[in-house]
Chain A
Amino acid sequence: MKKLILFFTLFIIIGESQAQTMINGIVKDAKSNPISGVSISIKDSYDGTSSDSTGKFTFKSNESGEQWLVFSAIGFGTDSTKIILKGTTLQLNLILKEKLNALNAVTITAGTFEASDSKKGVVLNSLDVATTAGAQADVYAALQTLPGTQPAAGESGLFVRGGSAAETNTYFDGLLVKNPFNTQLPDIASRGRFSPFLFKGTTFSAGGYSAVYGQALSSALILESKDLPEKTTTDVSVMTVGLGIDQTIRFKNSALSIGGSYINLKPAFSIFKQETDWNTEPASAGGTVIYKWKTSKTGMLKSYSEYSKSEVSLNTADLNSQQKSLFSNTNNNFYTNLTYQDYIGNDWKIISGFSASNNKDIGLQAINSYGRQDRLLQGKTTFTRYIGQLSTLKFGGDWLNSHRDESWNGLSRAYNDQLFSAYAESDIFLSNALVARVGLRAEHSSYLNLNNLAPRLSLAYKTGKSSQVSLAYGEFFQNPEDQYLVQTNQLGFQKATHYLANFQKMANGQTFRIEAYYKKYADLVKSTPNLNNNGFGYARGIDLFWRDKKTFKGVDYWISYSYLDTKRDFRNYPTEVTPDFGAKHSLNIVYKQFFSKLKSYVGATYSVASGRPFYNPNAIEFMSDKTKTYQNLSVNVSYLTRVFNKYTVIYASVSNLPGFKNVYGYHYSTDGQYREAIQPPALRSIFLGMFITIGDNTYKN
């Protein structure tokens, strides 16, 4: 009995008295840089410590024998090594590998400007788009302050790196939008149809974009709509251009928003002298229905529908007869989409969507009646397989049914095309610092009865903690424009090949980007002597971007500069020349500052671009004349306040405040005797608005 007690006592004492072992060492990463803040411990014991700023550590352990030493740090993985503790001091050299994760991994940036609220490494967020002065909350106008684009002229759309407006396509939750703009009026650029507040992410690709998208020779604008709104709210807008009301009702796992607006530009246009001779200033009425349903923890169903009707009438000058010429338009636009996404297990994601649109224009052009109708149906499904920590394999297919019919004084013609596409693309992370994206897209057009195969390749390599280089190559195909397809199906795909090299450094609120590109065009549509695919061309240039949110407190500004050298032979051109949408130099300075005392947000945008070529029938050489330099300075102020105790934003903006007289080009009479400048509808324009939010009294912008 006593022996037994003695035994237990001994056991307890032995348990308490052991030799201490001193453990010293250093932890480094794979490149032999010391890592601080690494937690080092003996597994299943309280013994351990953290490495200091030189990666060194030292601690004592009472454990003995064979033990596991475990070490880990934020941004790195966890590793362990076996050690033997026997009282003699240990000296250890540990290596900890960087964890592959989205926070420190390289991203492909060649050609791409991303505006997102959630992802890292974005250059702009969605609010930046909405608050850029001069853009008046038009997504497209805001993007015109980024390098690679041209300032707005008399034509709607984005002109990217020597490409025409038709070479940029817009995608809404992955689905192509056929008519993203209000109807183009003669020589007047129109706004985009979608409010920037609908989207949580905007990816603007100036080239080399993903194989998931096709049918755009130059550029893809990818808009990702917001998820569930947080609260039930009513938003009322009172503007100099009209009225709007939106009611959002939040249910437990879903939300429904219904909105309506009436826009009439007559009052606003009456303030400033109009260069344009309006008969009926543009007026439109429309409604939207948005539904979002969180189907499960990871599943999301989104639907967006809108309908609008607009009317306008104006006179243009017929230079040949020296008389007024009437132009009128009534537009009916319907657009709807439905997308669903979810994860299947841990490794798969599915995104599936459907969209339909119908856009109808009728009106008079001089004494002739015209009509145009575009119908588009689309279905698309993409599967993503996640491989390892970051790599992915995506594949899927889409089907696009486009229909256009045109009429002129009762005569009509139409075409109908089914475009089938299949695509596969893989992001392969060879390390945290090196990623390759390999993609392939195949398309078949039923109307042209042709196939194409477009390879895409991007590489990105991280050169430092906050800098990286990217390279991209890709082939891009696009059907000829509708105005040619209604005439014949004896045409082929137009083609562009992109080569891009990009360097980006992003640290502490400052971003610097430089990108050089070369783009080769082939098989562009020419309309002389008859429709053919013999057009060709090139574009090359350098884009620079600098954004700084750090140097001046409360100030955010960016500067973008584009150099463009481009020539092409297409449409009715007799030879290869710089087209009328190719300004050699473009510079934008965007400035934003928040004055918290005044509760005001002030912004200014200054743009300058060298002259564009225009066709002068009196000149000896084709398109050898150039307009004078384009300049614009726009300012806006947002004042945050309360009206009837509801959170309210009062917004005012003036476009072209100093009144620069800009000319986009000239129209000539056939004999070259008379000409008329193509100008904006007014020298200056002003916009005032009051936006009231009811039901949300905390933090809506």
Chain B
Amino acid sequence: MKKDLKTTIITLIVILFASVTNAQDAKYVAAMKNALQSFNDAKTGADYVAASNQFERIGGIAKTEWLPYYYAAYSQLINNTTLQDPNEKDAVLDKALELVGKAEILKPAEGEIWALKGYISFMKIYVNPMARMQNGMGEAMGYLEKAKALNPENPRPYFVIAQNTFYTPEAFGGGKDAAKPLLTEAAKKFEAFKPTNEMMPDWGKERNAMLLADCK
């Protein structure tokens, strides 16, 4: 009987622990879904800041998950596109870099993180291209090349590079003609790509298609 009791207690503890963990997982998933909903519904810069804050809060609790910080950074990246003042843009992009840096510490071998880091680095250059182009391009390209190396199937680093080429003046080696083959390659990668679950990054496809259409 005593032994039974012991087994029961252990079983119960295991069940309890599992249920707490499950509850935590469930809470995390629920919180992420909620935040992704805010992100998808966001329209203004303030909406993206709120979404970023929401993701960052989740990152503070779910300490082993890289996705919250990843989305927090990505939300700030989009927030940046709604701003005009270069100082504000810089502050927001610095925050985005800090957030993606936190994701990087949690999962350094994740290609998605490096693709986003490269994207943010490009955006930093665009704040003051004349001044930052020369020293910043190599660094940004390095992150994107690393993203490709970690996961050659991930379409996002290809898309980010193609988009950068699209917006670079022809005189500096960019333009539609130079971007077209890159966008086409990215489009193929997007066709083949399936995110492993519904929370994983899955952005860029529409924009890539839009830019490609503009090249024709």
B132 at the interface (CB under 8 A from A): yes
**Which stretch, A41-49, A155-163, A582-590, touches the partner chain B?**
A41-49
A698 and B50: CB pair below 8 A? no
A699 at the interface (CB under 8 A from B): yes
B135 and A230: CB pair below 8 A? yes
B58 and A120: CB pair below 8 A? no
Cα of A651 to Cα of B129 in the assembled complex, Å: 21
Contacts of A599 in B (CB 8 A): 169-171
* Minimum CB distance partner of B173 in chain A: A698
A697 and B8: CB pair below 8 A? no
How many A-B residue pairs have C-beta atoms within 8 angstroms? Tell me. Answer: 104
Q: Digitize A91-126: 1 where CB-to-B-CB distance is under 8 Å, 0 elsewhere.
A: 000000000000110000000000011101000011
A37 and B50: CB pair below 8 A? yes
Given the known A-B contacts A120-B90, A125-B131, A127-B130, are A699 and B46 also in contact in the complex, defined by CB atoms under 8 Å?
A: no
Shortest distance between the CB of B179 and any CB in chain A (Å): 14
Shortest distance between the CB of A440 and any CB in chain B (Å): 33
Given the known A-B contacts A45-B61, A230-B138, are A103 and B171 also in contact in the complex, defined by CB atoms under 8 Å?
A: no
Shortest distance between the CB of B167 and any CB in chain A (Å): 11
A570 at the interface (CB under 8 A from B): no
Cα of A622 to Cα of B12 in the assembled complex, Å: 108
A374 at the interface (CB under 8 A from B): no
Cα of A701 to Cα of B169 in the assembled complex, Å: 12
A694 at the interface (CB under 8 A from B): no
Contacts of B138 in A (CB 8 A): 230-231
Given the known A-B contacts A5-B12, A46-B27, A74-B91, are A39 and B131 also in contact in the complex, defined by CB atoms under 8 Å?
A: no
Q: Is the interface of B mostly helix, strand, loop or mixed?
A: helix
Given the known A-B contacts A12-B19, A39-B57, A699-B172, are A127 and B131 also in contact in the complex, defined by CB atoms under 8 Å?
A: yes
Q: Digitize A26-41: 1 where CB-to-B-CB distance is under 8 Å, 0 elsewhere.
A: 0000000000111101
A46 and B57: CB pair below 8 A? yes
B16 and A647: CB pair below 8 A? no
B84 at the interface (CB under 8 A from A): yes
A8 at the interface (CB under 8 A from B): yes
Contacts of A620 in B (CB 8 A): none
Cα of A575 to Cα of B133 in the assembled complex, Å: 54
Cα of A52 to Cα of B87 in the assembled complex, Å: 21
The listed residue (B54, B86, B170, B173) touching A50 by CB distance below 8 A is B54
A227 at the interface (CB under 8 A from B): yes
Contacts of B123 in A (CB 8 A): none
The listed residue (B56, B91, B137, B172) touching A39 by CB distance below 8 A is B56
A74 and B172: CB pair below 8 A? no
Contacts of B9 in A (CB 8 A): 4
CB within 8 Å of A: which of B7-26? 8-9, 12, 16, 19
A46 and B168: CB pair below 8 A? no
Cα of A74 to Cα of B84 in the assembled complex, Å: 16
A488 at the interface (CB under 8 A from B): no
Shortest distance between the CB of B161 and any CB in chain A (Å): 11
Cα of A560 to Cα of B168 in the assembled complex, Å: 32
Contacts of A252 in B (CB 8 A): none
B5 at the interface (CB under 8 A from A): yes
The bracket for how many chain A residues form the interface is 35 or more
A1 and B16: CB pair below 8 A? no
B133 and A508: CB pair below 8 A? no
Q: Digitize A192-212: 1 where CB-to-B-CB distance is under 8 Å, 0 elsewhere.
A: 000000000000000000000
A700 at the interface (CB under 8 A from B): yes
Cα of A227 to Cα of B44 in the assembled complex, Å: 39
A290 at the interface (CB under 8 A from B): no
B134 at the interface (CB under 8 A from A): yes
CB within 8 Å of B: which of A502-552? 507-509
Cα of A322 to Cα of B91 in the assembled complex, Å: 69
A75 at the interface (CB under 8 A from B): yes
B49 at the interface (CB under 8 A from A): yes
Cα of A8 to Cα of B16 in the assembled complex, Å: 8
B146 at the interface (CB under 8 A from A): no
B209 at the interface (CB under 8 A from A): no
B115 at the interface (CB under 8 A from A): no
B50 and A12: CB pair below 8 A? no
Given the known A-B contacts A1-B8, A230-B138, A507-B85, are A697 and B54 also in contact in the complex, defined by CB atoms under 8 Å?
A: no
A319 at the interface (CB under 8 A from B): no
Shortest distance between the CB of B130 and any CB in chain A (Å): 5
Q: Digitize A667-700: 1 where CB-to-B-CB distance is under 8 Å, 0 elsewhere.
A: 0000000000000000000000000000001111
Cα of A5 to Cα of B11 in the assembled complex, Å: 11
Given the known A-B contacts A127-B131, A508-B84, are A48 and B53 also in contact in the complex, defined by CB atoms under 8 Å?
A: yes
Contacts of B173 in A (CB 8 A): 647, 697-699
Shortest distance between the CB of A470 and any CB in chain B (Å): 19
The winner among A44, A46, A104, A507 for most chain B CB atoms within 10 A is A46
B172 and A4: CB pair below 8 A? no
The listed residue (B53, B54, B91, B172) touching A698 by CB distance below 8 A is B172
B137 and A699: CB pair below 8 A? yes
Contacts of A11 in B (CB 8 A): 16
Cα of A37 to Cα of B47 in the assembled complex, Å: 9
Kindly list the 4 A-B residue pairs having the minimum CB-CB distance in the complex, ordered from nearest.
A39-B53, A640-B171, A50-B50, A37-B49
Please list 24 pairs of residues, one from A and one from B, whose beta carbons are closer than 8 Å in the complex, sorted by A's number. Answer: A4-B12, A37-B49, A38-B53, A39-B57, A46-B58, A48-B57, A49-B50, A50-B53, A74-B49, A74-B95, A103-B87, A104-B87, A104-B91, A117-B132, A231-B138, A508-B84, A596-B169, A640-B171, A641-B171, A698-B137, A699-B172, A699-B173, A701-B130, A701-B133
Extra contacts besides A699-B168, A699-B173, A701-B133 (13): CB < 8 Å? A1-B5, A4-B8, A46-B61, A74-B91, A103-B87, A103-B91, A120-B87, A126-B131, A127-B131, A508-B85, A509-B86, A599-B171, A647-B173
